[in-house]
Amino acid sequence: MTAPRPAPTAGDGPAIEARELSRRFGAFLAVDRVSFEVERGEIFGYLGANGAGKSTTIRMLTGLLAPTSGTGRVAGFDVRTEPEAVKASIGYMSQKFSLYLDLPVRENLVFFGGAYGLWGKALARRADEVLALADLRDAGDVTTGDLPGGVRQRLALACAILQRPRIVFLDEPTAGVDPVARRTFWRIIRELAREGTTVFVTTHYLDEAEYCRRIGLMVDGRLVALDTPAALKATWVPERLLVARGRDLARAGERLRGLPGVQHVVRFGAALHVRVAPGGVSEEAVAAALRSAGASDVAVEGAEPSLEDVFLAVVGANGRGAEAAS
Amino acid sequence: MAAGPTPDGGAAPAAVAARGLARRFGPVTALDGLSFEVARGELFGLVGPDGAGKTTAIRALAGLVRLDGGEARVLGVRAGARELRERLGLMPQQYSLYRDLTVEENLRFFSRLYVLPRAVYRERVARLLAITRLERFTDRRADALSGGMYKKLALACALLHEPEVLLLDEPTNGVDPVSRRELWALLGEFVHGGMTVLVSTPYMDEAERCTRVALVHRGRALLQGEPSALIAQFQDEAYEVHGGDRDLLDARLAALPPVREASPAGARLKVVVARGARDEVAAALAPLGATLAPAAPDFEDLFLSSIRRAS
């Protein structure tokens, strides 16, 4: 019995290639001339607000939805003319993946394996492999419906990689998943990438996006930024970033908006992120202004911007008002 | 922040009181003696991992789940009592709007459910549409709204009858960072206007925005209090790791007993270490070319190490 062969690929170009890819729904242009390439073995993050066109892009690249114009190639196959070859080459975990909740975990794998043409000992062996990879070794006999949400997401991922796809598309795989489970999930994604799998992933958790080698950012159907996390930070948050912590900061933060050089004041949990242009106020001046506005236990220090700072800057610069971010 | 009047202090009863809530579903213990209290005007967070019991607790407070034990009261009245219908708002995780109706039609439908007079309805809808910034989309069908807009419409519907207490179950799941901020800014305004809000969330930055939180695990409250006070009482130490190869570091850190948590999230690697174990960890990382620098613990560090210790 031989192990199942890796899914087919054609040629040796990029894993994923979009050229002027567009999709219109009636009068609504959901995806507007999007172009990018994803290299083999890369973790590529695709970010954007709700309704920005991320899922529509994925549905075109997975051969589920025909582009209105433009071209997409995945694993060397054309998504418009060879959608079946595309589907055979990839794994896809959609936002609304379906598992059989009344079946044990292993039987879900057997069911999906059957759909991919796996059977017998090869399927059993592969099921063991993906259970181990997804950290579900001891869960094979558990009824799927009894699993917590985060564990169920891992089973959905296990199903998506059963056929050893060289490319996986993960659409918000960690939505609603707690921090502990998210970490486990990303350990698995990184493991897949280390083995050479190309990962195309969307998320609203921007701390996770730091794991991506490169990130594309969509606003209103257009791809408006594409680079490594470090380069995005340098480009989109060129100002000094100060982080203020303390008590009763929220209302006091309003007072900062008039200070010299202060461009944005945004809440991050209990803290404030203050973006200051060169030559603007110092840490001490920000702290003093916050104290005089009623905040206490104030500490202000410089920090590296997060990808969430980048996201807010990009979205703010491309349409939706900056006040949305406060 | 003041704790508010206590229920036995003779003042007004707590907005929400959960006392020893217990509920099993077959072999699963969802609530195992969960207790917490929310004073009027608080923004209180229920924080915990998947399956901790947050949703069951909120459903119990809304009177939608029968308890095996304990007592759930809202505004001094037994949860589920008819008189709470007009005083309590609920936004469950899967909020059912009519997907084939427009924004405006959904709002009108829910206003009829609450039997609002026409003039009151008009005034409230105008205000809710303005603060949710949905005015321009009143003709759009609910199924054509983005995830964030749908949540905001659901929130508007849950607020039409101007409840005194609002319960929200993970309202920002799947909502993008900008819409998430808008939703929280709205909650802040409602609380500022005197409403009591109880919200469950898996986002640690949202937990930090609450006046008080309860960290729920396996149906019980592990910790509760002001987020900043809880962080201040943090028993472990947090450090940032500088230098070294990320994969080698991950493997090494996973094998070190005093390392409670290594959080690779973000560009930098943060570790939570048992008090006093800094030198031991630093010595173990030195051969990998990595050093430790002190870092401020945040709510996520607290969450991860509390859950780890309790598991």
Q: Note down pLDDT in tens along chain A; length 326 residues.
A: 444 455 556 567 899 999 999 999 888 899 999 999 999 999 999 999 888 899 899 999 999 999 999 999 999 999 999 999 999 999 999 887 788 999 999 999 999 988 888 889 999 999 999 999 998 988 999 999 888 888 889 999 999 999 999 999 999 999 878 888 888 899 899 999 999 999 999 999 998 899 999 999 999 999 999 999 999 999 999 999 999 988 888 888 888 988 999 999 998 888 999 999 988 999 999 999 999 999 998 999 998 899 999 999 999 888 654 333 33
The answer to whether residue B265 scores a pLDDT higher than 60 is no
Chain A interface includes B310 (CB < 8 A): no
Tens of pLDDT, residues B139-182: 988 888 877 788 889 988 988 888 999 999 999 887 888 888 88
Chain B interface includes A70 (CB < 8 A): no
pLDDT the model gives residue A104: 94
Question: Which CATH code fits B235-310?
Answer: 3.30.70.100
Mean pLDDT, rounded, for B119-132: 87
Q: In A, residues 183-212, which contact B (CB 8 Å cutoff)?
A: 183, 186, 194, 204, 206-208, 210-211
Q: Chain B residue closest to A218 (CA)?
A: B176
pLDDT the model gives residue B5: 46
Q: Chain B residue closest to A320 (CA)?
A: B178
Residue B256 CB coordination number (10 Å): 17
Average pLDDT, chain B: 88
CATH 3.30.70.100-classified regions of chain A: 236-319
Chain A interface includes B51 (CB < 8 A): yes
**Residue pairs spanning A and B at CB distance below 8 A:** 119
Fold of the CATH domain A16-227? Rossmann fold (3.40.50)
SS (H, E, C) A72-124: EEECCEECCCCHHHHHHHEEEECCCCCCCCCCEHHHHHHHHHHHCCCCHHHHH
| CB pair distance less than 8 Å for B298 and A269 | yes
In the structure, what pLDDT confidence band is assigned to residue B245 with cuts at 50, 70 and 90?
A: confident
Q: In A, residues 137-156, which contact B (CB 8 Å cutoff)?
A: 146, 148-151
Tens of pLDDT, residues B12-41: 789 999 999 999 988 889 999 999 999 999
Tens of pLDDT, residues A79-110: 999 999 999 999 999 887 788 999 999 999 99
Please tell me whether the interface predicted TM-score (ipTM) of this complex is above 0.90. no
| CB pair distance less than 8 Å for A49 and B179 | yes
- B203 CA to chain A: closest CA distance, Å? 7
What tokens does B55 get? Answer: 């949703």
Domain chopping of chain B, boundaries? 235-310
From residue B166, alpha-carbon distances to B90, B116, B286 in Å are: 6, 18, 51
| CB pair distance less than 8 Å for A324 and B181 | yes
Torsion of the alpha carbons at B129, B131, B132 and B138, rounded to the nearest 10: 20
Mean pLDDT, rounded, for B67-93: 93
Of B144, B202, B142, the C-alpha closest to B172 is B202
pLDDT the model gives residue B3: 45
| CB pair distance less than 8 Å for A150 and B49 | yes
Chain B interface includes A179 (CB < 8 A): yes
| The domain made up of A236-319 is a member of CATH 3.30.70.100 | yes
Spatial distance between the Cα atoms of A223 and A54, rounded to a whole number of angstroms: 10
CATH 3.40.50.300-classified regions of chain A: 16-227
What tokens does B168 get? Answer: 């929200």
Please report residues of A whose CB lies closer than 8 A to that of B266.
Answer: 207, 210, 306
Q: Chain B residue closest to A194 (CA)?
A: B247
Spatial distance between the Cα atoms of A113 and A121, rounded to a whole number of angstroms: 12
| CB pair distance less than 8 Å for A181 and B50 | yes
